[in-house]
Structure 1
């Protein structure tokens, strides 16, 4: 997952609240950093996306997000 895909997934899931969540919500699994701080520290965007989904209680069926329009086919 790239940073642009992360931001697209945040926008798709959270809409206008997305930018506030990325800059203000502290994510415990990421060492008490916000998503923005974690991105700047080099944490993988997919790890940040999943931590954000857990913290915001996004249902499992929507966590594939990852900036893609549909989940990957296996």
Structure 2
């Protein structure tokens, strides 16, 4: 997954403004107690970050 796809999915589910804020503020245990933005900045693959976000938001399997 490319970063553009990651952000597209985030904005689709959280809105264009809230998606970036949520990614900067929400700490996820699945990402080593980092925020999605911190994980991306550290080089974690966007697909892995999306899986953690998907789980945290309790999205349906079709959105995985």
Both structures adopt the same fold (TM-score exceeding 0.5): yes
Which consecutive unaligned segments of at least 5 residues does structure 2 have?
Answer: none
Q: Larger helix proportion, structure 1 or 2?
A: 2
When Rg is computed on C-alpha atoms for both structures, the one with the higher figure is: 1
Deviation at 1:14, TM superposition (A): 1.4
Structure scoring higher RCO (CA < 8 A, sep ≥ 6) equals 1
Normalised by the length of structure 2, the TM-score is 0.88
Moved over 6 A (4+): none
* 1:10-69 residue CA offsets vs partner (Å, 9 max, x unmatched): 111211421121111111111000000000000000000010010111111222xxxxxx
Structure with higher strand content? 1
TM (norm. structure 1) is 0.77
Aligned length: 63
